[in-house]
Structure 1
Amino acid sequence: MNFNKKLLSLRKEKGLSQDELGSQLNVSRQTISKWELGETTPEMDKLILISEFFNISLDGLVKGTCSSEVISKVSDISEAKLHTPKKGAYEIILLLTKIFGMIFLIDAIIMIIYFISNGFPT
């Protein structure tokens, strides 16, 4: 979806008139109309304002096909992943202890088998 169609869709989704959106972005109704018709495109500062106003990424706004709801859901999932606890030093030490314990146990079993089959030293 092109930017102009995306803007039109987002504006209608929020139930705003061109005049109301223009007021929010400090531009005229005519400017919004030209953006939606694809006659002109906004400058970067206005694109940033639009993306913040509609809660959509710049990438999604300019070239994406995702609606603001999908972007919102993706950001919620991303935030959830960010808040998952990382493995601390305790978990790493515990894992290493388990690994070395298994190595020691296997070594002890091999040594016992060796001494049983070859006899214990005298």
Structure 2
Amino acid sequence: MKFHEKLQNLRKNAGMTQLELAEKLMVSRQAISKWETGSAVPDLENIISICDLFGVSLDCLVRGIGTVETEEKIQDTAEKIVHQEHKREMKLKEKILLISAVISIVLLLGWKMNSISIAVIIIVWSAIGYVLYWNGRKLLELLSKSVRK
């Protein structure tokens, strides 16, 4: 697929008109039309702006190395990795909650709710809350990185 065909496909897939694309790139609509018909080629600065706007690599757009479909596959792979990481973290959280519940039950039954057992339960639950909070932050960071890419 040639540059002008890729540009037209990217624009249409984004649901943009030639005029909207021209406004975003700060060029005339006629320039976009010439680029899409193959009668003219944008300068390097505009090509880079097009890549940034549509989130494609320069190689994909200009040289034909990789395609939009390849980049979508990369995005899908990144999403799968994030999903797998999320599943691992959820299993860890489930284990932590199960262990903490067992510890709490043992403390409640074994010490008959004296002040020491209450303090230990509070400390255990605080530690669990802290671990879950930081794991949640890590998950959000992973998700935001994958969305940015």
In structure 1, runs of 5+ residues without a counterpart are: 81-122
Instruction: Give the TM-score normalised by structure 2.
Output: 0.48
Higher Cα Rg: structure 1 or 2? 1
In structure 2, runs of 5+ residues without a counterpart are: 82-149
Match of 2:40 in 1: 40
Q: Deviations over 1:37-86 (max 9, x none)?
A: 0011011000000000000000100122511x5314426757x6xxxxxx
Instruction: Give the TM-score normalised by structure 1.
Output: 0.58
| Higher relative contact order structure (alpha carbons within 8 Å, sequence separation ≥ 6) | 1
Moved over 4 A (4+): 75-78
CA contact (8 A) 1:56 1:72 kept: no
Write 1 or 2 for the structure with the bigger share of helix: 2
Match of 1:26 in 2: 26
Q: Please tell me the residue identity of whatever aligns with 2:2.
A: N
Hey, what's the Cα distance between the residues in 1 that align with 2:22 and 2:36?
12
Name the Cα RMSD after superposition: 2.1
Match of 1:54 in 2: 54
Is it true that 1:17 corresponds to 2:17 in the alignment?
yes
